Structure formats: C-alpha cells, structure tokens
Amino acid sequence: MTTYDIPRPTEGDVVELILDDHRLFESLLRDLRDATADREAAREALATVLIAHGEAEEAKVYAQLNRKRAITKGEAEHGEEEHAEGNEKLLALLECKGTDTQKFDDAVEELATALNHHIGEEEQTILNPAKTEVSEQVRQELGAAWATMRNQLLDEGAGSISNVRGIVAKAHREGLLPADDEGEEK
Ligand SMILES: [Fe+2]
Ligand SMILES: [Fe+2]
C-alpha cells in the first residue's frame, strides 16, 4: 500500500507552484500506467490534487490574470473548458471498478491525453504571460491565494467520486461540456 504525500506549500510564486503540480500529475499518470504500482492509491491522489488544483486556478488565478490584462477572457474560458473535459475523463476513471482491466487502462489513457494537452497549453498561454506581464509581487499574492484554496480543497477530499460528479454536472449546466453528453446525473 502506497501513501502519496501531496505537497502542501502555502506560499510562493504562483507559476512555480502550478508547474510543480503539473510535474506531480505527470508522475501520478506514470504510476497509473504501471501494473506494479498501487494504482488505487495513485488514482485517489491524482483525483484529489487535480480537482483542488483546477478549481483553485479558476477561482484564484485565471480571472485575476484577466483583470491584470495578462490573459484574455477567451483564454481563461478555454482553460475552464479544458478543466471540464479533464474532469469528465477523471470521473470515468473513478467509475472503473478494478484497476487491472482494459477499461481502466483506456480511461487512464484518455485522461492522460486531455491532461497533457491542457497542461501544455496552460503553460504556454497562461503561465508564460503570468511570468512576463505581472509583477513578482502579484505572482506571490496569487500563489498564496491559490495555495490556500487548493489546500483547503485537499482537506475537504475534493477528489471524491460524488464531488467530481457534482463538478462535471455543473460544467454541463454551464455549457462547458456538450449538453448531450453522458454522465449528466444530478
Ligand atoms: Fe494547471
Ligand atoms: Fe489548469
């Protein structure tokens, strides 16, 4: 049984903090592909940190960078759409009963594809302007606000299947995901 200790920084440059989580996502995805890893534990850790990370970005980083004119409203909205897509793939992974099935492997691959695309695009179109268009002081303020919310969501068990279901249902209602898609319970 593996216990994943998710780091909980409380302050720092928001860009560095977010990049550290992106590297953590990649390492957890690698474990999810590894038949000798504790994939149950890796799935739980990834679900929790992925939801906490993305929700805190939407509430504490995207809109703030838009207000500082570092990114456009469209870029912020596109990031939210990609979070919704990733969360939908995460929900499918959480709904897999076992971890040693083809269904599980396929769900990991689909999540990896969505997530790798998103973190690449976020680093290029959102974190780059955050590095060049806002001051170090603003990056520190955003870092503290983002980390505080992320850590609170980690404490609340943000990656539980019921919470992820609720987040995906809300994304459908808000039009971030196609309305005719599956998984629209609640
Ligand atoms: Fe991110
Ligand atoms: Fe993101």
CA pair distance 82, 119, nearest whole angstrom:
9
The three-state secondary structure class of 176 is coil
Distance 127 CA to ligand 1 centre (A): 9
Distance 104 CA to ligand 2 centre (A): 23
Give, as one character, the DSSP assignment of residue 123: I
Q: What is the pLDDT of residues 48-67, one digit of tens each?
A: 999 999 999 999 999 999 99
Q: Which residue is it, tokens 């469209």?
A: 74
Distance 78 CA to ligand 2 centre (A): 10
Q: Which residue is it, tokens 């959102």?
A: 126
Predicted TM-score of the model (pTM): 0.94
Q: Which ligand has an atom closest to residue 19 CA?
A: 1
Average pLDDT score, the chain: 95
CB 90 within 8 A of CB 164: yes
Cα–Cα nearest to 45, from 57, 33, 27, 60? 27
Give, as one character, the DSSP assignment of residue 171: H
Distance 22 CA to ligand 1 centre (A): 6
Domain spans in the chain, listed from the N-terminal domain onward: 30-173
CB 177 within 8 A of CB 88: yes
Mean pLDDT in residue range 22-40? 97
Give, as one character, the DSSP assignment of residue 20: H
Distance 106 CA to ligand 1 centre (A): 23
